[in-house]
Amino acid sequence: MPDADSARATAREAIALLTGAAGFTEHRSPPRPLPPDGPLGWAGYDAARERASARTGEEESVVYGTGVVGDRACVLLSFEFGFLGGSLGRNTGDRLAAAYELALTRRLPLLALVATGGSRMQEGMVALAQLQRVAAASTRLRAAGLPQIAVVRDPTTGGGWATVGAGADVVLALPGAQVGFAGSRVRPPDADPYAYSAEGQFAAGQVDAVVPADALAATVTQWLRALGPHEDLPAAPVPRALPTAGAGTGSAAGVGTTAGAGTGSAAGTGSAAGGGAVAPLPGTGREAVARARDPRRPRAEAYLADYFAVRLPLHGDRSGATDPGLLCGLGLRADGQPVAYVAQCGTPTRPAGYRAAARTIRLADRLGVPVLTLVDTPGAANDAEAERTGAGAAIADTFAAIAAARVPVTTLVIGEGGSGGALALAAPENTHVTVDSYFSVIAPEPAAAILKRPPSETGATADQLRLRPQDLVDLGFALSIVG
């Protein structure tokens, strides 16, 4: 294993960066003596361990214990790359398993500060098998509803990345860190180095955020507040209505005909955030569609900004892709209540977006955090690439995640509700709609095409589909109209 770079933070320096004056209490698992030169009798192994210990002051490649980050107690484990490249041997496995057990016993979140080259060659299969121990310990912690955060430092490769790192609920990376399953000496000679960097892994949806060292303590503190553990959190409140610029003018591009003045009921009128007027309910289906497609109406970003004091994005589907048209994460409201969010941004949602949504919903459910979904899509992406990357399976998995959720899920339809691609994110029996939204079995244009109607009848088809907000309430699909 390579020696430590003098510029790299030690295991204890990495811990101090996060705990600061709050301090850290080290724990030590009972030592188990190894046979001379380890389980394989690898010539020179004992001497290499002695040199590593003299150089770093550590007895093994992992330090663990309890500490406080910000105002949150947690169990920390930190890799010492200077000790045989932070590699995992049998005694390392003992310490890692003990750290996870400590978190389980004390019901604390686990924070892993990872810098490792992988399994220790000098211990052969005994070392490699430690990955199974780590995976089992992580699974027990996950089943107990306790969160795991990994901060991947430089480098994080091999089995350490594939267990402690990538196996965490939230993965943060330091800028410029080498991150990947394949270490630098075992990659193809023509491999793109960007793919093995923190930034490359972020682009591929494998890392949630790249965080500078000076912002790490504050970021981790917010994540610990959001992830808990929590007990009996209430449902996510329905977001308040936001105004559309020029609401009620009826000048949006229409469907079939120009949008007319909505009549509607009092449920669709009133004051919105910031004092703007909320438009009345649409009088026709074609007007409802036109208003949902109006580029001036508020989108997901505006609703999330109004709803949360702090947002912590979860990035990517963990399968190598991202969808910029779907926002996921956890947030803290002004009163400190954590809520997980999944928000469509008005574009066709791609398979990666649905996989990220399902990941977010299942994480929230396991941690007892309520979920808010914002629905706004003309439908699921229907191009050939979407089919090749598993659109049907991804949508099915999102339906399943909502259906299986034990935590309350609250849905607000803020724009277009296009068929199953929108319905996959809607909470049964707890869906609400804004006055500038619609929801339909299918958008009016494809509906007319399926019915073999000419384009001139698209507007009439929209009217016939009963897709207006008030129709959705009358049909029992929506609980209320927000406005």
- Span 367-392, pLDDT tens digits: 999 999 999 999 999 999 999 999 99
Spell out the alpha helix ranges (H) of 281-345: 285-292, 300-307
Q: How far apart are CA 94 and CA 102, in angstroms?
A: 12
Look up tokens 């052969």; give the residue: 124
Task: Report the predicted TM-score, pTM, of the whole model to 2 decimal places.
Answer: 0.91
Q: How far apart are the first and last CA of the chain?
A: 62
Cis peptide before 234 (omega within 30 of 0): no
Predicted local confidence at residue 244, as pLDDT: 81
Q: 303-312 pLDDT, tens per residue?
A: 999 999 999 9
Residues 6+ apart with CB under 8 A from 54: none
Predicted local confidence at residue 62, as pLDDT: 98
Q: How far apart are CA 343 and CA 314, in angstroms?
A: 12
Cβ atoms 102, 75 nearer than 8 A: yes
**Confidence class of residue 474 from pLDDT cuts 50, 70 and 90?**
very high
Predicted local confidence at residue 245, as pLDDT: 73
Predicted local confidence at residue 183, as pLDDT: 85
Predicted local confidence at residue 254, as pLDDT: 47
What secondary structure letter does DSSP report for 325? T
Highest-scoring range by mean pLDDT, 128-132, 179-183, 254-258, 270-274: 128-132
Look up tokens 């703007």; give the residue: 276
What integer is the mean pLDDT of 459-472? 95
**Among 155, 63, 79, 158, which Cα is nearest to 119's?**
158
How would you classify the pairing of strands 148-157 and 170-173? parallel
Report whether pLDDT(262) > 80: no
What secondary structure letter does DSSP report for 296? T
**Confidence class of residue 278 from pLDDT cuts 50, 70 and 90?**
low
pLDDT higher for 265 or 92? Answer: 92
What percent of the chain has pLDDT above 70? 92
What integer is the mean pLDDT of 116-122? 95
Other Cβ atoms within 10 Å of 124 Cβ, number = 15
Report whether pLDDT(261) > 70: no
Cβ atoms 339, 407 nearer than 8 A: no
| Lowest-confidence segment of 243-252, 293-302, 447-456 by average pLDDT | 243-252
Predicted local confidence at residue 247, as pLDDT: 52
- 3-state class (DSSP) for residue 415: strand
Report whether pLDDT(287) > 80: yes
Predicted local confidence at residue 77, as pLDDT: 98
Give the type of residue at 118: G
Predicted local confidence at residue 8, as pLDDT: 86
Q: How far apart are CA 141 and CA 135, in angstroms?
A: 10
**Confidence class of residue 21 from pLDDT cuts 50, 70 and 90?**
confident
Q: Rounded mean pLDDT of the chain?
A: 91
**Among 226, 224, 276, which Cα is nearest to 247's?**
276
* Tokens describing residue 403: 């259906």
Report whether pLDDT(436) > 80: yes
Q: How many CA atoms lie within 13 A of 122 on its CB side?
A: 21
Q: How far apart, in Å, are the Cα atoms of 477 and each of 247, 402, 473?
A: 25, 16, 6
Phi, psi of 169 (to 5 degrees): -70, -40
What percent of the chain has pLDDT above 90? 85
**Among 343, 397, 346, 344, which Cα is nearest to 372's?**
343
Cβ atoms 171, 165 nearer than 8 A: yes
* Tokens describing residue 396: 């099915």
Report whether pLDDT(416) > 90: yes
What integer is the mean pLDDT of 162-171? 97
What integer is the mean pLDDT of 433-459? 93
Residues 6+ apart with CB under 8 A from 322: 203, 204, 205, 315, 316, 352, 356
Predicted local confidence at residue 373, as pLDDT: 98
Residues in the chain: 483
Report whether pLDDT(420) > 70: yes
What integer is the mean pLDDT of 263-289? 63
Q: How far apart, in Å, are the Cα atoms of 72 and each of 19, 66, 122?
A: 10, 11, 38
Q: How far apart are CA 251 and CA 34, in angstroms?
A: 78
Other Cβ atoms within 10 Å of 430 Cβ, number = 17
Predicted local confidence at residue 271, as pLDDT: 40
**Confidence class of residue 6 from pLDDT cuts 50, 70 and 90?**
very low
